Amino acid sequence: MENFDVIIVGGGPAGLSAAISAANAGMKTVVIERGDYPGTKNVMGGILYTKATGMVVPEFWKEAPLERPIIEQRIAMLSGDETIMAGYRDPAWAVDPYNAHSILRVKFDRWLAQQAEKAGAMIITETLVEDLLYQSNNVVGVRTGRAEGDLGAKVVILAEGVNNFLAVKAGLAKPLKPASVAVTVKEVIALPKEKIEDRFCLEEGQGATIELYGDSTAGLMGVGFIYTNKDSISIGVGAILEPMIRNNWTPNDLLENLKSKPYVKRLLQGGETKEYLAHLIPEGGYTQVPKLHRQGVLVVGDTAMLMNSLNREGSNLAMISGKIAGEVAAQSIKAGDVSDQAMTVYETRLRDSFVLKDLHHYRHMGKFFEENTHLLKAYPKIFSKAAKMYLTADGTPKKERQKEIIKMVFENRSKAGLLKDMYGAWRALL
């Protein structure tokens, strides 16, 4: 049996970041990935944040396969055929210092794996880790599905993604519940770059994002998204699994519903679907974060439920958690102490960073939306009605029209209800 300092289960952003920091610290490191190569099984909406990625691979934007730097973020609220929009645009984001880029994971993750190899980590693909190896109660390695498949390790980092089989087996996490995961489906639709730039008012080398609320998810708790790539558009929609099951929606129904909206349809027109992807997203939030460590084990990324869906941040939380885990693993190994006590440094550092701070900040959000399912149905309708009334020039004096609008709002939602929603939203989000 070959022995390593650090074994990382899973070749996504969290696992590969852990590999880079562990290998940079001189650890004998291996990443075990079940796909043909890192990236083949990895899915996200498609936005990569510069700051976090740069902490893992400095100046990565000079070499990494990126699509477009994001200079504009729009929010759209759909109600039937009507749309309300808001957004922010700054062309300064098209150059260093960037804020975020659109990416295609199949290319980016493969590149990140090459960086891990350059740092000295070994990548083993097409291999599934089936269990951890124990010696009495201590984790001492992993068992893979291959012949002679045991490997020894001082620290195992679980970066297995949202499907947390090993973390559950090790008693660190609970099995996923349909209420705490979202299912997201996505298509990559090819379009000539000129068309993309015209439709989204972009120059070459600029990108835009749109998040779509309301009818984009047919009133289910979730969000739709459209991201511009170099010569394709990523469009997708995600919603919490439990209400989808209850309402008998399939992921594909949701996507087709979104694509049929007039505002969306025109953006995609003439494009050819090149890829169809689907994945689960951990949406449990702060209260569902599993135990992050035990003797010889650290849990990172999606497996650790590190996901801030409101700000659509996930890969950056994953990468920072991976980076810290790799560093903590190396420190503990060098100090000759990989006990649970030594591993708590990982959790402390996550708590001191934005990763757990953001999750803690939004800790009431999941429950708030879960208990107030009317929000995504009622408000898009109220807002678009109000906007339409306000903008329609039909000879009604404005003072009268404003009264009508206020009346309409109260007809759709009582004063008490409005106050309750506002207080709830304030508690959940601010």
> In the complex, what is the shortest distance from the CB of residue 8 to another protein, in angstroms, rounded to a whole number?
14
Shortest CA distance to 265 belongs to which of 237, 239, 235? 235
Q: What is the dihedral of CA 164, 169, 173, 174, to 10 degrees?
A: 90
Do 58 and 220 meet the contact criterion of CB atoms below 8 Å apart? no
Q: Closer to another protein at the Cβ: 3 or 341?
A: 3
% helix, strand, coil for the chain, step of 5:
45, 25, 30
> What's the closest the beta carbon of residue 195 comes to another protein, in angstroms?
19
Question: Applying CB under 8 A, which residues contact another protein?
Answer: 2, 30, 36, 122-124, 127, 144, 146-151
Instruction: Provide the minimum distance between the beta carbon of 272 and another protein in the complex, in angstroms, as a whole number.
Output: 12
Q: How far is the CB of 176 from another protein (least distance, A)?
A: 28
Instruction: Please say which residue, 37 or 383, places its beta carbon nearer to another protein.
Output: 37
Measured from the CB atom, the residue of 127 and 331 that comes closer to another protein is 127
Q: Which two tokens stand for residue 300?
A: 């990172």
Query: What residue has token string 């990468």?
Result: 319
Q: Quick one: DSSP state of residue 69?
A: B
Q: Give least dist CB 273 to another protein, A.
A: 14
Which of 125, 412 has the CB closer to another protein?
125
State the DSSP string of 140-170: EEEEESSTT-EEEEEEEEE---S--HHHHHT
Closest to another protein by CB, 230 or 401: 230
Distance of CA 198 to the CA centre of its chain: 28
Instruction: State the minimum distance, in angstroms, from the CB of residue 34 to another protein.
Output: 13
In the complex with another protein, which residue's Cβ is closer, 33 or 211? Answer: 33
Q: Smallest Cα–Cα separation from 377: which of 69, 44, 77, 73?
A: 77
Rounded to whole angstroms, the Cα distance separating 185 from 95 reads 31
